[in-house]
Amino acid sequence: MKQLLITTAICATLLSGCAPATLYSWGRYQSAAYSYTKNNTDENATKLGEAYQSVISHPGGKRNVVPPGLYADYGYLLFRQGKTKEALDYLKMEIGLYPESTVFIGRIIKQLEK
Is 32 a domain residue? yes
Is 8 a domain residue? no
Q: What are 87-113's pLDDT values in tens digits?
A: 999 999 999 999 999 999 999 999 998
Range of the domain at 76: 27-113
CATH number for the domain spanning 67: value is 1.25.40.10
Whole-model pTM above 0.85?
no
**pLDDT tens over the chain, length 114 residues:** 656 556 555 555 555 555 567 888 888 889 999 999 999 999 999 999 999 999 999 998 888 999 999 999 999 999 999 999 999 999 999 999 999 999 999 999 999 988
Is 43 a domain residue? yes
**pLDDT on residue 21:** 72
Is 6 a domain residue? no
Is 61 a domain residue? yes
**Residue 63, C-beta contacts closer than 8 angstroms, at least 6 positions apart:** 23, 24
Is 102 a domain residue? yes
Is 11 a domain residue? no
Is 16 a domain residue? no
- Which sign does the torsion angle of CA 107, 78, 60, 96 carry? positive
State phi, psi for 41 to the nearest 5 degrees: -115, 165
**pLDDT on residue 77:** 95
**pLDDT on residue 15:** 53
Indicate the angle between helix axes 84-97 and 102-113, nearest 10 degrees. 160
How many residues make up the chain in this entry? 114
The tally of domains found in the chain comes to 1
